[in-house]
Amino acid sequence: MAAIVEAAPAKINLALHVRRRRPDGYHDIETLFAFLADGDVLSVAPAASDGFAVTGPFAPALAGEGNNLVLAARDAFARAIAPLPPLAITLDKRLPVASGIGGGSADAAAMLRAAARIAGIAGDDPRLAACAAALGADVPACLHGCTAFGRGTGGELAFVEGLAGIPVLLVNPGVAVSTAAVFRAWDGIDRGPLGSGDPLAVTQGGRNDLEAAARRIAPDIDAVLACLGEAAGARLVRMSGSGATCFALFGSVAERSAAAAALRASRPDWWLLESTLA
């Protein structure tokens, strides 16, 4: 078996509307999310015995983690779908941890895709989707890696097209934010449903209902949104997920690059990613 490389791209919530609290403790959400052309990278190769290594700029943030989602995905696949041979797994961790851009979920989904290739399982096998859902609310979306409307806990997906190629700049102030803490701080007000139709129009008419709560927990988000809002050519500025990563959509690559250069000069302590919607 040759080594397998799977991309684990960043995911951003272009809009995120939080609705009712469910009996199971989760909240119903309505979201439009998109994936970027860049993110973490997972490599899987045959080995004499199982091994797992984390490299990349954000590897230290995962040091000492008891059960990384990648290993959870490997083990869940082996239990529920098919046995796997010993594997040497390397996660190149390029995305910040606990940052609202689906990094851990994308990593788990990449492991499921790699495992399916190794075991000869079709990518649309319903057992793969069930395995993804058991690992976390965002993992089914990351398994597909396509722009989609998500409802329920995020796993009821309706795929859409029309946003690929839009330049995007991601900015994180170096603050990790707990999703659970942000949901606890949310004011509980249902501000209405997400629209439907043209995804760009839905994005522009939408909002992120978790933004106010996240800004109270991590005030550095305020500065990020302010700086992105002042960037020439920024067509939409918003926080993604439960934060603290924020994004701006731009009309051109040149405008995005100019904004990134200015931020790198003025805020060298912030993490930036220049990319495009996939």
Catalytic residues: 11, 138
- Spell out the alpha helix ranges (H) of 39-86: 69-80
Residue position matching structure tokens 């895709």: 113
Tokens of 227: 């700086």
Tokens of 191: 């501000």
| Residue 204 burial by Cβ neighbours in a 10 Å radius (0-12, 13-18, 19+) | middle
What's the CA gap between 78 and 83, in Å, rounded? 5
Nearest-5° Cα angle at 163, 160 to 168: 135
Look up residue 208 and give its DSSP letter: B
What's the CA gap between 178 and 154, in Å, rounded? 18
What's the CA gap between 184 and 199, in Å, rounded? 29
Tokens of 132: 């993804």
Residue-level length of the chain:
278
Look up residue 22 and give its DSSP letter: P
Q: Do the beta carbons of residue 11 and residue 146 sit within 8 Å?
A: no
